A and B are shown apart, each in its own frame.
Chain A
Amino acid sequence: MTSTTSGSQTGPDREHADRIPAADDTSGPEAEALRDYFRQMTLIRAFELRAAEMYTRAKVGGYCHLNLGEEATCVGLMAALRPTDYLFTTYREHGYALARGAEPGRVMAELFGRTTGLSKGRGGSMHLFDTRLRLLGGYGIVGGQLPPATGAALAISYRTAPGPDSEAVMCLLGDATTNIGAFHEALNLAAVWHLPIVYVIVNNQLGMATPVEAAAGEPDLFKRGCSYRIPGTRVDGGDVLAVRGAARAALEHARGRHRPVLLETVSYRLRGHSVVDPARYRSAEETQRLREKDPLPRFRARLIDDGVLTEEQAARIDAETEQEVIAAVEFADASPPPALEILFDHVYATQTANTPYGLPGDPLPCDQPAPPAPGGR
């Protein structure tokens, strides 16, 4: 499934050459990459199932949104990014952080609210951030990431010329986000300012319980860039190679010409909106149909059929990723909870006089300047 619309004469390449290698090429680098994608998808699956379990055991608080059913999209998109590119994501982002290279233990520790977490326990499930990985945030407000991601692309264009070595920004958003004002303002800015950014609509076909058709005047979401002459492409989000190919082409266009691209991946959310949502709005038949679209067994069978992966290798990957996730939980659980002394760290980056550092019930600091700020520098 690949559909395209081009708002200009210079849309991204629509032909994606990525195919499973022939059976006689099962030991080359591409075959190795495919096995690695399978490993990453398996890891994300195991991580998310464990995260749900930890949520029900009250180890994880707040909201917890899972990438179950989205693993091929996570891995395909991240495979297309360079380490020097910037990534902005949504609140459903554990899988993207893992595929970007975050240690599972540090992601789980963030869910557990520990200082060893990716955001030092201050963000939780929805707000994973890692400067080193240029993962510039999960964002809990729907679409909140769109204007800042656009501005990150502005900073790139401010400093560097278009070309194959230019950095680029990838900004993920959900299908329902295409209905908010910030989506349209961001796309328009990227178009008139000629910015190197790829907006990826991760269409899992439901905004909480609202189907795309009920929410979007143009349910072919990849066409919604037309108003801004931003070329759009739709790919099967369950096909890791199709996703990787489409994302590579989009990024190439973005960095080479400093122009925005809109990419839509279509996948299926296997469970509810968040861990606590039983998804009663879906029938038993629909749930059964979703299972058949599960990208993980599909990819596994395909690799085994093509001789890239053996049953034994697959079973070993299952066992190893399961162990990795168990170790991640152990790491998170063994990490100490934050000391209360660090409460006011990072409220401000530049310390200024009279910044209030009072706890509930403390007297107002009316007498002398507040004590030197704890940390935060």
Chain B
Amino acid sequence: MAENITYRQALHDTLRAELLRDENVLLIGEEIGAFEGSYKITAGLLDEFGPRRVRDTPICEEGFTGAAIGAAMLGLRPVVEIMTINFSLLAIDQIINHAAKMHAMFGGQVRVPLVIRTPGGGGQQLAATHSQNLEVFYAHIPGLKVVAPSTPADAKGLLATAVRDDDPVIFLENLALYNTRGEVPDDDHTVPIGTAAVTKPGRDLTIVAYSRAAVIALEVAHRLEEEGISAEVVDLRSLRPLDRPTVCASVRRTHRAVVLEDDWLSYGIGAEIAATIQEGAFDYLDAPVRRVAAAEVPLPYAKPLETAALPNAAALTRVIREVLDATGFTPRPTPGRTRLGDP
């Protein structure tokens, strides 16, 4: 059985299910109780579970994130909501210097089963300090796990896995995804951390993306299909650990790759993907890997400037055409292409 619900609803339902399943699970964050969360993910949970399980905090990201770490050290399983990823910078000492280090640095004697849920993303005219995609900060850090689901089903499955995992997990949401809908299995659905998904198979080119960008990638791929261009979409889902084999296997089939990412270009997630492809699929590539990422500017408030700075379907489509044109590709409505090096 499956039901068609929003990404927001999938997160809410999963938090509720985990609170019901395990007495050690508790929610911690600013305005998650009476206010029901800035994005209403925790709606109704204070009424149902009370202030012991759904704990509003003063404004102190470093304090309450660190407190969640300490509670996790003693066996609770806190799920922290940081209102947006921008504010996680205030907690970054606790996340990187502490949560990520404790299990290893203390010789495996303590575990930190902690989830930090936080949305990133621009496009809401929130200006430069409230529109960032900082996941690469966390994806860089051994000891952390970082997931970034793009669909309601993966939101449910990865959140359930993250809550039950014994390591600190950064759970990246996106402001533009909360109202998106999709089929969600209504059983105890989990998705393993560290595995990407091929959300659309294709022959001619691979689009690698995650979170909001994976939704755009899928839309573009479906549209191109009508023109006889068969694009495969790899939704990374996890940024750490990164599923390199799935990415490389796809590019070995398609021989071309474009990365779509919401973060800034230089040193971004796409740089890691491009490096992975050049090492794992170099002999199969027909063209250089291209990246479609955000313009490297503090995101402006004014709508035309904001829109121009953000990666979108049009930019992705243009780059895909450039890659195909540069390799002499002609759209073919039917499959059947064979060439040297095909697996």
Q: A residues within 8 Å of B by Cβ?
A: 86, 117-123, 127, 129-131, 136-137, 139, 141, 144, 146-156, 158, 181-182, 185-186, 188-189, 192-193, 345-350, 352-356, 363-369, 376
Contacts and interface: CB of A to CB of B under 8 A. Distances in A.
Contacts of B265: none
Interface residues of B, number: 61
A352 B110 contact: no
Interface string B33-63: 0000000000000000000100101101011
A144 B98 contact: yes
Given A148-B73, A348-B143, A349-B111, A122 B105 contact: yes
B264 to A, nearest CB: 23
Interface stretch (B7-15, B181-189, B236-244): B236-244
A137 B245 contact: no
B63 A354 contact: no
A244 B268 CA distance: 53
Contacts of A192: 58
A144 B94 contact: yes
Contacts of B76: 154-155, 158
A364 B282 CA distance: 13
| In the A-B complex, the 8 residue pairs with the closest CB atoms | A147-B66, A151-B70, A366-B280, A185-B63, A120-B107, A148-B70, A151-B67, A155-B74
A117 to B, nearest CB: 8
B71 interface: yes
B166 interface: yes
Nearest to A128: B106
Nearest to B109: A131
B64 interface: yes
Interface centre among B26, B105, B143, B192 (most CB of A within 10 A): B105
29 contacts: A119-B109, A120-B107, A121-B107, A122-B106, A122-B107, A129-B106, A130-B109, A137-B110, A141-B98, A144-B93, A144-B97, A147-B63, A150-B63, A151-B72, A153-B70, A155-B73, A155-B76, A185-B63, A186-B66, A188-B63, A193-B55, A347-B143, A348-B143, A348-B145, A352-B145, A352-B238, A354-B195, A356-B241, A367-B245
Nearest to B76: A155
A346 B103 contact: yes
A149 B63 contact: no
Interface centre among B98, B107, B241 (most CB of A within 10 A): B107
A154 B245 contact: no
Contacts of B113: 349
Given A189-B63, A363-B279, A354 B107 contact: no
Contacts, number: 190
Contact of A152 (B58, B71, B97, B142): B71
B205 interface: no
Interface of B: 26, 52, 55, 57-58, 60, 62-76, 78, 93-94, 97-98, 102-113, 142-143, 145, 165-167, 192-195, 238, 241-245, 247-248, 275-276, 279-281
Contacts of B112: 349
Contacts of A356: 142, 241-242
B119 to A, nearest CB: 23
Contacts of A189: 57-58, 60, 63-64, 67
Contacts of B72: 151
A376 B69 contact: no
B88 to A, nearest CB: 14
B105 A127 contact: yes
A349 B166 contact: yes
Nearest to B195: A353
A182 B95 CA distance: 13
Given A350-B166, A353-B194, A354-B244, A367 B70 contact: no
Contact of B58 (A137, A149, A188, A376): A188
A347 B168 CA distance: 11
A136 B62 contact: no
Contacts of B166: 349-350
Contacts of B195: 353-354
Contacts of A350: 165-167
A352 B109 CA distance: 19
B236 to A, nearest CB: 11
Contact of B280 (A352, A355, A367): A367
A103 to B, nearest CB: 15
A120 B67 contact: no
Contact of A366 (B98, B104, B279): B279
B197 to A, nearest CB: 12
B169 to A, nearest CB: 10
Given A149-B70, A151-B73, A189-B63, A353 B107 contact: no
Given A122-B106, A141-B93, A354-B242, A349 B167 contact: yes
B98 A151 contact: no
Given A158-B26, A188-B58, A349-B103, A151 B109 contact: no
B193 A352 contact: yes
A348 B281 CA distance: 29
A71 to B, nearest CB: 25
Contacts of A345: 104, 108
A141 B276 CA distance: 34
A363 B276 CA distance: 10
B276 A346 contact: no
B66 A148 contact: yes
A186 B63 contact: yes
A148 B26 CA distance: 16
B263 to A, nearest CB: 20
Interface centre among B71, B78, B280 (most CB of A within 10 A): B71
Given A127-B105, A141-B97, A352-B193, A150 B70 contact: yes
A117 B106 CA distance: 10
Given A152-B71, A364-B244, A366-B280, 12 more contacts: A127-B105, A131-B109, A144-B93, A144-B98, A150-B66, A155-B73, A155-B75, A182-B93, A185-B64, A349-B108, A354-B238, A365-B244
Contacts of B78: 151
B167 A348 contact: yes
A185 B195 CA distance: 37
A355 B110 contact: no
A344 to B, nearest CB: 9
A192 B76 CA distance: 20
B122 to A, nearest CB: 28
A258 B159 CA distance: 33
B103 A366 contact: no
Contacts of A158: 26, 52, 71, 76
